[in-house]
Structures are given as structure tokens and as C-alpha cells.
């Protein structure tokens, strides 16, 4: 049995990144970035390259393309407790176009994410309008996606519509729709406010064909047994955030944000972030930030059910558990002006490192077998995330 | 979903209220074609103060710019070309830099030098006088000191319009 | 989309349309005063390739997502 925690279930974040830098009065700058990313923690290593290219065509159009690869090597607690470590790749490509007309920016794009057992296609449309002497920018976005889920077993890929000898046919779909509205407001010559609100809805097969929940079973030596998880066929959620950026003397900036999330699965989550940016001379920029995250569990989540089929819906995915996490981020960036090639105006070298600490409040470490079922210590994980990237403006 | 729709309505209402509460000042007609260009005097890159009154008799293009403004930076070499082409015909161009600290402007001018005079408006007095409502802003004044054309913003291709307008005014 | 949400969205859109329709408001931060706002360090998203990666890192491990992007601010040119 394989686990696939690296599934790209939610694309809008990436979609927003393509348009997030946008002002509605000028097209985004022409630039390219090449990035290497590395995640290590909880028995999982994910690394790979990413490339982003953006170029204007004429005065009103800007095109962008992003390639992203995840090379995953997983021996996470979920994998090790029920299966064996495995390796996998996920490839994502984003295509985007922006069209500027007077003070309105229209953006559209397509995102594709492919991994052995999960294919995702998403299309998005966004309109940004600047008002009041460009002090206010509002934007409306719509995203629609569809996912095709299959199952990989013992290295044989059971694709949609096919069946490998002796293995059952498995094919499932999920659809997503997302509506977003945002406002950015210049408050003073030194202060910016950003507000965002999003509603999204998914329907279809929303869980994992590999993952299981556990229930008390006195007939086994370890005291529990597994059964496959069962999720509702729909999920609707709201997210609202506010972000403030403040320019400080000595060429530095402070930023703070809060996001609230709630969904029909009973999850309530809050994200708090505080960041500081300091420049040194004309070439160096340093960033530091702290993120604190807390979430309540889904109402059909339990680390250990009392008996099989205890509820209509059953989940033991630690993503839906009750937990809090703290992340510290440090980054440094060096700007340079290469004399060759001539079409490159400036470049930057960037390094960014995060330390993430997740403490679960109702997910237990089943690998600690010296404890009785339900009394194992709560699981926690530390992770280190690193990014190194080079950017060019032309 | 209740809270969702309430939040959206609230945001929409807040936006409406907030904006209507702001001072909706009437647009003054002072800086418009037909009006006399207000006179001013500022320190310049020529080492001596330059006054608009001194330039009477020439067609003057006043360009308000800043080194932090992308379209302004794009426009500078094009303005330089215009200046060099039409100066013999009695045309002059002054670039009014609106930054409080002249150092950033000087740094930009080192990499992108121009031949027309740069005037420094660190207190924004002239920007306010000319009701600069967009960056960059270009005001073309005729030989008698009357404002003839006002442009806000710059998009590649706008220089065609400037060319036609300057040509017409220098022939007056 | 629920009916109530659609009403809310329509109200918000109507308010915005009214404002777009030509309400003359004088900006309290003049275009020539936007030096700090135009600085890259005041951008909501300075390096999209990096922020999109980090968004993904959190989303895969957390039950929540969304409302992370902001547009606007900046130089206000043109």
C-alpha cells in the first residue's frame, strides 16, 4: 500500500502567486527565476527545481510560465506505520496571460499537476481594477478545477480506464470551484492594507484511497485495527485574511497578517504572521518572519475510533487533526548588475530557510509500540525547508 | 455560508461608506489647457536656479518624474531625444524631480544621462502647484506661457502625440 | 453558491460599480508621495516563485488554504 501525501489538492494558492504581484496600473515586470527547493522533516524529503518565466508582448500583454517538480522520498509516520517507504515525482506547469487595458488588468491561466496517482487541471480568471488615484485596487477571481484520482500499487500504475492483472480498477474524480475577492488600500504614504476573502467548494472523491483510520480491536496484539477512511463527498470553506505592511525608517518594512479559515468539515484555523525586512546598502535585503498556526480537527476525525464503522465518515489524516505549528523564516538576498548579457538589467541571488515545528494535539505516534492503543505519546514533527533561487530582470 | 455572505456585504458597504466619507474635492480648473502656467523657481542640475518665467518665448515641456517610477524611467531617454531634435526650433524641456532626496535621482541620471535641465522639487511645492495627479505628468506650455496640453502617465507610443504637439507649437 | 452569498457578492459588486462610475475622490497620498510604496520591500509578494512554493508547503500539511494573495500598492504610475 502506498501513501500519497504530496497530492496537489488545492491549486488556487499557486494561481494567486501568479497574479499576487500584480498592480492594476502597470503590467508585472519581465523576469525569470530558477529555484531549488528542499524539504526535510517527519521522515519525508521532497526536493526539486522550479522555473518561472515572465515576458511582456507589446504594451498590453504579459505571458508567464512556471515549471515545478517535486521529487518525493517518503518514510513518513503514515507510510511507515502501514506500508513501506516509497519515491515519487509530481510535475506541475502553470501557464498565464495578463492583459492591461486602462486601469484594469485581466489575468487568465491554466495549471496542470501530474503525479502517478493524481492528475489535476485548473483554470482561473482574475480581474483587477485600480481606483481613486491608484490608492485602491480591487480584484475578483474565479477558479475551476477537476482532478482524476487513481491508485498505484506495488509499482504497477492502475491508471484511469485500465486494470492491471489481479488488481481492482480504481478511478475517481473531484471537482473544485473557488471565488475570491480582494482589496488593497493605500492608507498612508508608508502603510498598505490588503484584505482577501475566498469561498471554495469541492465535490467528489476528496480523500485518499490508501489512507486508513484505526479502531480499538481487543482481538489483536497491538489493540487496534485499520479500516479505510470515508469522507463526505462535498466540502465548502471560507477564508478571510487581512495584511498590513508598514514602511519604517532606514529602508525597512514590517508586515503582519491574520487569516481565518472555516469549513463544513468543522475545521477552524487561524494563521498569524509577523515579518520584518531590512535592506543594507543598495544590494542586500534580509527577511525574518514568524508564523503561528492553529487548527481544530474535522468533526469526523479521530485518532482512535471505539469500534469499526463508528460513524458515517471516518478520518485519521493528521492534516485534519487538531494541532498548532510555529515556523521561523530567515532570508537573504543579494542584488547584482551583470555587465553581460546586455539585455539583463539586474539579477539577484536569494537564500531562504525555514524551521517548522508542528505539535499535534490529537494525533498519536503509533510507532511507539510500548504504549497501549490510545495512550501513545502525541506526535510532533520538526522540518527544515530551504530555497535557493536566482532571479533575472530584463 | 451565512457568515460568508455577511462578510462580503460588509466589505462592499465599508468600501462604499469609506469612499463617500473621503473629501470629494471639486477638480480645480487651474491646470488645464487655456490657463496660464503658474510660475515657479527651483534649483537645477545646471548649478543655478531655473525659473519658468525665464523660459517665456520658448515652447516648454514640463515633465514631473521620479526614479522610483517605472514609466518615468522609460520615458526619460525619449524625452531626451525630443529635446535634442526640437531645441533649435525654440523648444525646451525641464524635468522636475519630485523626490525628497535628490541622491536617488542623481544615481539614476548617472546610468541614464539626459541633456535637458533637471529641476529638484524636494518639498513637493511645485507638484502641488501643478496638481500633479499621475506619475509621470507632462505639461506643454506655449511661447506665451499658456498651458496647451496636459498628459498623465506614460505608455510607449505617447511620444508620437508629444511630437505632433511640439511641432505645432513651435510653428506658432 | 448559496443565495445569501450571491446577494452579498452582488451588493459588494454594486457598491464597487457605483464607485467605478466616476465618484471624484481626491487621493490623500499624492502620486508624487508614493516613493516608499513603490519600493520592492513594500510589495505584498516580492518573489512569486518563492511564495508560491511556501504556500504549497503549508497547504499540503494543513487543513486550511486560501486568502493569501494581495494585489495593489506600489507606484500607482499611469
Render pLDDT for B89-126 as a digit per residue (tens, 0 to 9): 999 999 999 999 999 999 999 989 999 999 999 999 99
Is residue A359 pLDDT above 60, yes or no? yes
| Per-residue model confidence (pLDDT) at position A20 | 39
Q: Residue C78 gets which letter from DSSP?
A: -
pLDDT number for residue B6: 62
- Residue A233 scores a pLDDT above 80: yes
Averaged pLDDT, B9-24: 50
> Any long-range contacts for C55-60 (C-beta under 8 Å, 24+ apart)?
C55/A13, C55/A14, C55/A16, C55/A17, C56/A8, C56/A13, C56/A14, C57/A39, C57/A354, C57/A385, C58/A293, C59/A9, C59/A10, C59/A13, C60/A5, C60/A6, C60/A7, C60/A9, C60/A319
Q: For position A251, what pLDDT does the model report?
A: 93
Average pLDDT (A55-72) is 94
Check A237 against C67: CB less than 8 A apart: no
Q: Which of A24, A134, A245 to mutate to test the interface with C (most CBs of C within 10 A)?
A: A134
CB A37 within 8 A of CB C53: yes
Mean pLDDT over A368-383 rounds to 93
Which helix (H) or strand (E) covers residue A61, if one does?
strand A61-74
Whether residue A328 contacts residue A357, with contact meaning beta carbons closer than 8 Å, is answered with no
- From chain A, the residues in CB contact with B6 under 8 A are none
Predicted TM-score of the model (pTM): 0.86
Among B9, B99, B153, the residue with its CB nearest the CB of C11 is B9
Residue A367 per-residue DSSP state? T
Question: Residue A1 pLDDT > 70, yes or no?
Answer: no
Cβ atoms within 10 Å of A284's Cβ, excluding its own? 12
Residue B65 phi, psi dihedral angles, 5° rounding = -145, 165
- pLDDT of A15 reads 41
Distance CA A140, CA C16 (A): 11
pLDDT at A346: 93
Q: What is the pLDDT of residue A150?
A: 86
Please check whether residue B50 is in contact with residue B41, taking contact to mean a CB–CB distance below 8 angstroms: yes
Asked if the Cβ–Cβ distance from A183 to B11 is below 8 Å, we say yes
Are the beta carbons of C64 and A12 separated by less than 8 Å? no
User: What pLDDT was estimated at residue A8?
Assistant: 45
8 Å CB contact of B15 and C19: yes
The predicted model gives A160-170 an average pLDDT of: 53
Which chains reach chain C with 3 or more Cβ–Cβ distances below 8 angstroms? A, B
Q: Which CATH superfamily does the domain covering B29-170 fall into? A: Glutaredoxin (3.40.30.10)
- Window from A56-60, A121-125, A317-321, B63-67 with minimum mean pLDDT: A56-60
- Domain residue spans of chain B: 29-170
pLDDT value for A171: 85
Looking at beta carbons, which residues of chain A come within 8 Å of B22? 132
Q: What is the pLDDT of residue B27?
A: 45
Which of chain C's residues have a Cβ under 8 Å away from the Cβ of B13? 11, 15
pLDDT number for residue C40: 93
Q: What is the rounded average pLDDT of the residues A69-86?
A: 86
Q: A88 vs A241, which has greater pLDDT?
A: A241
Average confidence (pLDDT) over A244-262: 96
The answer to whether B23 contacts C26, with C-beta atoms less than 8 Å apart, is: yes
Interface pTM, i.e. ipTM:
0.90
What is the per-residue pLDDT for B25? 40
As given in the structure block, the three cell numbers for residue A321 are 487533526
pLDDT at A227 over 90: yes
Asked if B15 contacts C18 with a C-beta cutoff of 8 angstroms, the reply is: no
Mean pLDDT of A51-61: 94
DSSP, collapsed to helix, strand or coil, labels residue C48 as: helix
Per-residue pLDDT of chain C (78 residues; tens, 9 = 90+): 566 666 556 555 555 555 554 456 678 899 999 999 999 999 999 999 999 999 999 999 999 988 886 666 677 777
> Which residues on B lie below 8 Å from C27 (Cβ)?
133
> What's chain B's average pLDDT?
86
φ, ψ (nearest 5 deg) of residue A299: -70, -10
Contact at CB, C4 and B23, closer than 8 angstroms: no
Architecture of domain A102-393: Beta Barrel (2.40)
Q: For chain A, which residues make up each domain, given as ranges? A: 102-393
| Cβ atoms of A19 and A143 closer than 8 Å | no
Residues of A in contact with C25 (CB under 8 A): 132-133
Amino acid at each position: 500500500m502506498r501513501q500519497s501525501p504530496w497530492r496537489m489538492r488545492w491549486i488556487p494558492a499557486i494561481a494567486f502567486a501568479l497574479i499576487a504581484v500584480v498592480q492594476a496600473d502597470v503590467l508585472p515586470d519581465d523576469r525569470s527565476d530558477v529555484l531549488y527547493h528542499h524539504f526535510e522533516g517527519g521522515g519525508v524529503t521532497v526536493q526539486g527545481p522550479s522555473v518561472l518565466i515572465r515576458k511582456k508582448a507589446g504594451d498590453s500583454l504579459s505571458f508567464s510560465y512556471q515549471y515545478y517538480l517535486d521529487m518525493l522520498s517518503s518514510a513518513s509516520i503514515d507510510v511507515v506505520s502501514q506500508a513501506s517507504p516509497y519515491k515519487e515525482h509530481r510535475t506541475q506547469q502553470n501557464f498565464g496571460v495578463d492583459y492591461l487595458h486602462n486601469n484594469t488588468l485581466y489575468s487568465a491561466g491554466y495549471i496542470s499537476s501530474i503525479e502517478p496517482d493524481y492528475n489535476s487541471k485548473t483554470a482561473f480568471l482574475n480581474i483587477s481594477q485600480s481606483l481613486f488615484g491608484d490608492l485602491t485596487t480591487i480584484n475578483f477571481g474565479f477558479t475551476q478545477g477537476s482532478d482524476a484520482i487513481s491508485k498505484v500499487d506495488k509499482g504497477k500504475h492502475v491508471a484511469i480506464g485500465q486494470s492491471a492483472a489481479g488488481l481492482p480498477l480504481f478511478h475517481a474524480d473531484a471537482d473544485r470551484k473557488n471565488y475570491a475577492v480582494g482589496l488593497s488600500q493605500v492608507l498612508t504614504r508608508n502603510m498598505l492594507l490588503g484584505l482577501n476573502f475566498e469561498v471554495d467548494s469541492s465535490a467528489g472523491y476528496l480523500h485518499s484511497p490508501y489512507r486508513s483510520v484505526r479502531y480499538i480491536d481487543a482481538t489483536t496484539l497491538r489493540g487496534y485495527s485499520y479500516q479505510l477512511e470515508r469522507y463526505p463527498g462535498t466540502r465548502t470553506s471560507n477564508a478571510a485574511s487581512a495584511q498590513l505592511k508598514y514602511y519604517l525608517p532606514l529602508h525597512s518594512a514590517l508586515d503582519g497578517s491574520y487569516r481565518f479559515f472555516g469549513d463544513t468539515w468543522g475545521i477552524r484555523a487561524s494563521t498569524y504572521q509577523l515579518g520584518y525586512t531590512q535592506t543594507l546598502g543598495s544590494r542586500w535585503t534580509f527577511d525574518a518572519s514568524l508564523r503561528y498556526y492553529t487548527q481544530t480537527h474535522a468533526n469526523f476525525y479521530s485518532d482512535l475510533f471505539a469500534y469499526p464503522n463508528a460513524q458515517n465518515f471516518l478520518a485519521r489524516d493528521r492534516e485534519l487533526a487538531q494541532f498548532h505549528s510555529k515556523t521561523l523564516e530567515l532570508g537573504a538576498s543579494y542584488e547584482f548588475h551583470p555587465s553581460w548579457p546586455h539585455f539583463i538589467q539586474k539579477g539577484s541571488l536569494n537564500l531562504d530557510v525555514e524551521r517548522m515545528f508542528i505539535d499535534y494535539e490529537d494525533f498519536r505516534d503509533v510507532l511507539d509500540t510500548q504504549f497501549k492503543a490510545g495512550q501513545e505519546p502525541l506526535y510532533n514533527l520538526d522540518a527544515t525547508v530551504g530555497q535557493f533561487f536566482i532571479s533575472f530582470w530584463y | 455560508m451565512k457568515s460568508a455572505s455577511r462578510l462580503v456585504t460588509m466589505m462592499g458597504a465599508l468600501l462604499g461608506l469609506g469612499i463617500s466619507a473621503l473629501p470629494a474635492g471639486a477638480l480645480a480648473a487651474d491646470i488645464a489647457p487655456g490657463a496660464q502656467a503658474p510660475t515657479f523657481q527651483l534649483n537645477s542640475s545646471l548649478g543655478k536656479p531655473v525659473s519658468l518665467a525665464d523660459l517665456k518665448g520658448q515652447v516648454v515641456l514640463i515633465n514631473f518624474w521620479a526614479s522610483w517610477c517605472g514609466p518615468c524611467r522609460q520615458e526619460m531617454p525619449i524625452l531626451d531625444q525630443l529635446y535634442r531634435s526640437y531645441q533649435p526650433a525654440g523648444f525646451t524641456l525641464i524635468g522636475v524631480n519630485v523626490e525628497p532626496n535628490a541622491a536617488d535621482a542623481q544615481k539614476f541620471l548617472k546610468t541614464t544621462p539626459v541633456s535637458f535641465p533637471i529641476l529638484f522639487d524636494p518639498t513637493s511645492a511645485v507638484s502641488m502647484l501643478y496638481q500633479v495627479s499621475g506619475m509621470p505628468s507632462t505639461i506643454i506650455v506655449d511661447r506665451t506661457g499658456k498651458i496647451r496640453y496636459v498628459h498623465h502617465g506614460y505608455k510607449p507610443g505617447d511620444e508620437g502625440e508629444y511630437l505632433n504637439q511640439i511641432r505645432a507649437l513651435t510653428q506658432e | 453558491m448559496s443565495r445569501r452569498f450571491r446577494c452579498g457578492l452582488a451588493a459588494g459588486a454594486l457598491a464597487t460599480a457605483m464607485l467605478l462610475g466616476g465618484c471624484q475622490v481626491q487621493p490623500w497620498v499624492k502620486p508624487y508621495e508614493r516613493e516608499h510604496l513603490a519600493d520592492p520591500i513594500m510589495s505584498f509578494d516580492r518573489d512569486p516563485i518563492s511564495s508560491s512554493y511556501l504556500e504549497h508547503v503549508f497547504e499540503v500539511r494543513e487543513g486550511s488554504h486560501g486568502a493569501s494573495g494581495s494585489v495593489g500598492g506600489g507606484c500607482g504610475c499611469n
